Amino acid sequence: KNQVEQSPQSLIILEGKNCTLQCNYTVSPFSNLRWYKQDTGRGPVSLTIMTFSENTKSNGRYTATLDADTKQSSLHITASQLSDSASYICVVSGGNKLTFGTGTQLKVEL
Amino acid sequence: AAGVIQSPRHLIKEKRETATLKCYPIPRHDTVYWYQQGPGQDPQFLISFYEKMQSDKGSIPDRFSAQQFSDYHSELNMSSLELGDSALYFCASSLARGAGELFFGEGSRLTVL
């Protein structure tokens, strides 16, 4: 069964600090992996999308990595801001199907 | 740039009523997905359409139906509504059956009383 597991489930950090979110997947076949940011009650917004051959991709203060051998991905947030408080969802695409992770709830505090 | 448009944004219905949600994908996108997201839960895939034909089916109840029209907009019809149907319903669109970038709408919040 295709699964996407994210950790930690929730995270609280101070403004300005860095953090790393993890995503492990068992999706086959694999097409791409996406990270989304979802504010409460809003639609998910794409941060990065990576294919099998890509190891790292950055989008401003967000940097995603992908290890297709171990089927792991991480999302690193640098110099966090209060507006980074949201749910971060890892979505893996394969065989025309999308499998959603359970998300990591990030809260950035002063 | 045009995004995925969903309507209505909010909808309140009573049990056993029907509801229809609409989704207008990004122009030229050929694939539409519908998701249901309950409070504190990850989105659950309901159904998808590629070039106006149903391409995949997830955990969509038999009380629900959907279709994609000639102009590529899609509608999710929900009948005999139950309290448990209260959720955020997201529509997403992409090119090439999801191999391309996937864009989500802002969602339609359905509340069943």
Task: Give the tens place of pLDDT for each residue, B102-112.
Answer: 788 999 999 99
Q: Is A100–B42 a contact, with Cβ atoms under 8 angstroms apart? A: yes
List, for chain A, all residue ranges whose pLDDT scores fall below the cut of 50. none
- The percentage of chain A sitting over the pLDDT mark of 70, rounded to a whole number, equals 99
**B98 has pLDDT over 70:** no
Q: Which of A37, A34, A22 is nearest to A74 (CA)?
A: A22
**B1 has pLDDT over 80:** no
Cα–Cα distance, B105 to B88 (Å, whole number): 11
Q: Which of residues 77-106 of A touch B (CB under 8 A)?
A: 89, 91, 93, 96-98, 100-103
**B99 has pLDDT over 80:** no
Cα–Cα distance, B89 to B110 (Å, whole number): 7
Which residues in chain A have their CB less than 8 angstroms from residue B36's CB? Answer: none
**Which residue matches tokens 């990591």?**
A104
Cα–Cα distance, A97 to B44 (Å, whole number): 12
Please measure the distance between the N-terminal and C-terminal CA atoms of chain A and give it in whole angstroms. 41
- The percentage of chain B sitting over the pLDDT mark of 70, rounded to a whole number, equals 95
Cα–Cα distance, B21 to B110 (Å, whole number): 9
Q: What three-state secondary structure class fits B47?
A: strand
Mutate to test the interface with B, among A37, A51, A100, A102 (most CBs of B within 10 A): A100
